[in-house]
Structure 1
């Protein structure tokens, strides 16, 4: 029978450091000289094996985005932003092309409601040996109101969100990297943290390689609606066109 569930090792999970609530916890990513199992270092950017591989039947890596513990993606210089995303995408696609995994997921947690445990900016690239995440992906989840489109990159607000409410999408061909892809992603993160109609402290970024396209989905995180948890029913808010207009007014 095909496996559709990730298995979480709780014995490892309880050992993971956490500093969103536990402010006394030292940040392990700041102690750069103590990091082990490094895969590649590019100045302040580091890719290394995850010291706490809580997912079974998976190869887990962590991408430390910067040496500034208090930085955040929406504040990065354009130079660092492009350097980081190209670095991450290269390793993600190389792991995918290796043939060692059924699929490879690439994602980012930011903030106390994002599902992450450490506030230091980082992403994760995880090779899954027996699960293909693309089985849960469809084109509908990337459809939306177009906010901007330039140089072959589309930026949209989902009209058929995957989980519900507000999801911001970026889309480009997988043939070459386009700077607008990351710049739209940065705008999405900045809007969520600084201009969202409800106070927002957290978001996720999910990357997808699907049908010769690279997609990213930036999702503000709040307490998840029970209708989705209990029944898998995404909700679509009635103010999407207002929000689309606000984003265009603020950034374009």
Structure 2
């Protein structure tokens, strides 16, 4: 079967903490004194083994972005944002180089529509000993109308979206600047959460990281209810406003 089919342990899933729906529930990432299996720290950024390993056969990790529970990437200083992305990329590369995994996924869920369960800003890395890497993405989904370029890094609006609306991509060529990657991600998240939809505010997003040869890609995806055309039939929508989005982001952030 030409798909990636992995086993999910629902018994472990039932025990996971959640405070997006139940906002009064305790935040496990704020309780730093009781965190276990910490692998690395950089100031208040913490990289650790995920306590709730719901994907059978895989190793799951968490990158807690800092001590502030109610902040997020748009609020970070440029220096803080670069530290967070730099540490994530470092451990992603380390896991890939370990020889233990066929591939390692690196992504962020934020908000109730993103698939996440914890409000506290964090990213996740998942190492799969067996996975068909060629099925994870098509490089065409990471290309698009160029918004800005800097230091070997391109920022664009997807004109071949993975799902549909407002997908922003960052492409880092071999030797490109990780600081520029972080800066463009921060712009993308700020735009998604504050300007993307004037009629229905965006409260959730994902960031997905990909690699191919020496290139790194990142996709910032605003999240709403996912189109049934995509879920049921794998139909991708190409909105008619991608040029307008590119122009708006240039005007807001790069003039």
Normalising by the smaller structure, the TM-score range is over 0.9
Structure 1 residue 232 and structure 2 residue 234: aligned? yes
Q: Secondary structure at the match of 1:15?
A: coil
Q: Secondary structure at the match of 2:221?
A: strand
Check whether the contact 2:166–2:196 (CA below 8 A) recurs between aligned residues.
no
Which whole-Å CA distance do the structure 1 matches of 2:3 and 2:202 have between them? 35
Range with bigger deviation, 133-142 or 31-40: 133-142
Which residue does 1:202 correspond to in 2? 204
Range with bigger deviation, 170-179 or 21-30: 170-179
Check whether the contact 2:49–2:62 (CA below 8 A) recurs between aligned residues.
yes
RMSD: 1.3
Which whole-Å CA distance do the structure 2 matches of 1:211 and 1:95 have between them? 16
Which residue does 2:84 correspond to in 1? 84
Equivalent of 1:242 in 235, 241, 244: 244
Q: Secondary structure at the match of 1:8?
A: coil
Check whether the contact 1:3–1:131 (CA below 8 A) recurs between aligned residues.
no
TM-score for the superposition, normalised by structure 1: 0.97
Runs (4+) of structure 1 exceeding 4 A deviation are: none
Alpha-carbon shift at residue 11 of structure 1 (Å): 0.1
Which whole-Å CA distance do the structure 2 matches of 1:31 and 1:55 have between them? 24
Alpha-carbon shift at residue 178 of structure 1 (Å): 3.0
Which residue does 1:152 correspond to in 2? 152
Which whole-Å CA distance do the structure 2 matches of 1:201 and 1:16 have between them? 22
Range with bigger deviation, 199-208 or 170-179: 170-179
Which whole-Å CA distance do the structure 2 matches of 1:213 and 1:132 have between them? 19
Which whole-Å CA distance do the structure 2 matches of 1:34 and 1:227 have between them? 44
Q: Taking structure 1 as reference, are residues 163 and 222 closer, same or farther at Cα in structure 2, changes over 3 Å only?
A: same
Which whole-Å CA distance do the structure 2 matches of 1:183 and 1:88 have between them? 14
Unaligned stretches of 5+ residues in structure 1: none
Residues 71-108 of structure 1 show CA distances to partners (whole Å, capped at 9, x for unaligned) of 10111111111111111100001100111001001000
Alpha-carbon shift at residue 150 of structure 1 (Å): 1.2
Unaligned stretches of 5+ residues in structure 2: none
Which residue does 1:180 correspond to in 2? 180
Which whole-Å CA distance do the structure 2 matches of 1:127 and 1:139 have between them? 21
Residues 138-186 of structure 1 show CA distances to partners (whole Å, capped at 9, x for unaligned) of 2211110000011111000000001122210001124354311110100
Which residue does 2:37 correspond to in 1? 37
Check whether the contact 2:111–2:205 (CA below 8 A) recurs between aligned residues.
yes
Range with bigger deviation, 158-167 or 173-182: 173-182
Which whole-Å CA distance do the structure 1 matches of 2:121 and 2:10 have between them? 24
TM-score for the superposition, normalised by structure 2: 0.95
Which whole-Å CA distance do the structure 2 matches of 1:194 and 1:75 have between them? 12
Q: Secondary structure at the match of 1:207?
A: strand
